[in-house]
Amino acid sequence: MKVAKFGGSSLASAAQVQKVCDIAVSDPERKIIVVSAPGKRDKQDTKVTDMLIAAAKARLHGESGEAEMARVIERYESIAAELGMPAGSTDAIAENLTGLLAMDTSDAGVFMDTLKAAGEDNCARLVAAYLRSRGVDASYVNPKDGGMVLSEESGNARVLDESYARLQALRDQPGLLIFPGFFGYAKSGKVVTFPRGGSDITGAILAKAVQADVYENFTDVDSVFVANPGIVDNPVAVSEITYREMRELSYAGFSVFHDEALEPVFSSHIPVNIKNTNNPSAPGTWILPEREVKDMPVVGIAASKGFCSIYLSKYMMNREIGFGRRLLQIFEEENISFEHLPSGIDNISVIVPEACFTPEAEAHVLARITNELQADDVYVERGLALVMVVGEGMRHTIGLAARACSAFARADINLEMINQGFSEVSMMFGISSDDVDNAVRALYDEFFPARVAAEA
């Protein structure tokens, strides 16, 4: 049995929806189809989810939001019309969206999540209706009825364990099941969404729940590439990658597969096949528990901007029992999640996402570090980017760190931080955000030289 998830670009237009339906029915093993909301038809276009967010924001700011919602309704109507579905077939969608816009807004988080979720929800209803019009035994599954029970964290929900036992029953439901991605319900009955891009997470949860043989993740590229094709021309394609490698790369900016979607498939050892809706016969990339390293010790280079580092030093820090705990407690109490913690003998840096470290948070944290920990020196560096070189082969290959550092030196890039965990599946470098593209190109040329030489 297969669970297949289709991303927003695969559902952006009638032609794309047709491709999705052709793929869905072409393999009887495909049992559950997870859909995103319609995405962008071209670079200038707007995703339905973003249009819904605009409508919700308008209402939360005291406006009607009707013009924004009219654009969403129009999008579904044009897809249905181009699919040749009978007039009136999107009336229920229009009614649903208009009704949701009029909802009570007193809990802004719930209102926002309910509107965001409507993109996937109505897309799943439309796809199921279209498949039935083609004579396919297909039905829409409401995540509440299906049993997608999530934590009550608006926009940032996590699956609750009880979901798995409930969703397992979908195995025995007849016909093709069309399940909307991106959201579920809290125990209170409220709609809650995963973080953005979260339909991947829905698919992974369903794959684990029904113990699928494969989780197929359809997107708009033939495979995962070793570096961002927007930075490196024609990067090498990856045919196999492990869960651990993918987790590191997704964390550091690979957007093909959501990093939080890896946990359910990792814990149940379900292989993931990233495939292209526009070229379904291409083998795609397999995400697996293990891979043969062969000649690819490095499998990917990723970079992510938007971090800052809080550096502090205190003479004899190494002798002060409990210093680290007290430092992290300050971050915990200020509700800031830390990402990394590189340290020296008498100094330590706390790396946090810049978005969480507002000027207000900075003032609090710095004052507390100075007063409570009596640090000798403390300062903040913003505009930090993290570059990761990832590969299971690192454990057994000598000299990779030296090669990476030489590549940075040749590109005249100053290293602010180097971090290599004992797992040795990745090396992480902190550099200025301005140097990111150069850094990725320099590392690519270093670790994939055959390709560079062939092009020269």
User: Rule CB under 6 A: which residues touch ligand ASP?
Assistant: 7-8, 36-37, 47, 49, 119, 181-182, 196-199
Tell me the HSE value of 342 on the side-chain side, using a 13 A CA sphere: 17
Residue placing its CB nearer to ligand ASP in the complex, 181 or 430: 181
Strand partners, 35: 6, 180
Q: Could you tell me the two tokens for 59?
A: 């209402």
Q: How far is the CB of 106 from ligand ASP (least distance, A)?
A: 25
Coil, strand, or helix at residue 107?
coil
- d(Cα 75, Cα 235) in Å, to the nearest integer? 35
Q: How far is the CB of 223 from ligand ASP (least distance, A)?
A: 19
Q: How far is the CB of 151 from ligand ASP (least distance, A)?
A: 17
Residue placing its CB nearer to ligand ASP in the complex, 180 or 393: 180
Residue placing its CB nearer to ligand ASP in the complex, 10 or 163: 10
The total of other beta-carbon atoms located within 10 Å of residue 396's CB is 9
* Cβ–Cβ under 8 Å, residues 107 and 172: no
Q: What's the longest Cα–Cα distance across the chain? A: 76
Q: How far is the CB of 5 from ligand ASP (least distance, A)?
A: 8
Q: How far is the CB of 199 from ligand ASP (least distance, A)?
A: 3
Q: Could you tell me the two tokens for 433?
A: 């955000």
Closest C-alpha to 274, from 249, 296, 293: 249
Residue placing its CB nearer to ligand ASP in the complex, 163 or 199: 199
How would you classify the pairing of strands 377-390 and 183-185? unpaired
Closest C-alpha to 258, from 181, 179, 201: 201
Residue placing its CB nearer to ligand ASP in the complex, 148 or 400: 148
Residue placing its CB nearer to ligand ASP in the complex, 148 or 387: 148
Closest C-alpha to 184, from 228, 153, 220: 153
Residue placing its CB nearer to ligand ASP in the complex, 199 or 242: 199
Q: How far is the CB of 10 from ligand ASP (least distance, A)?
A: 10
C-alpha 92 chain-centroid distance: 31
Q: Which residue is nearest to ligand ASP (CB)?
A: 199
Q: How far is the CB of 69 from ligand ASP (least distance, A)?
A: 16
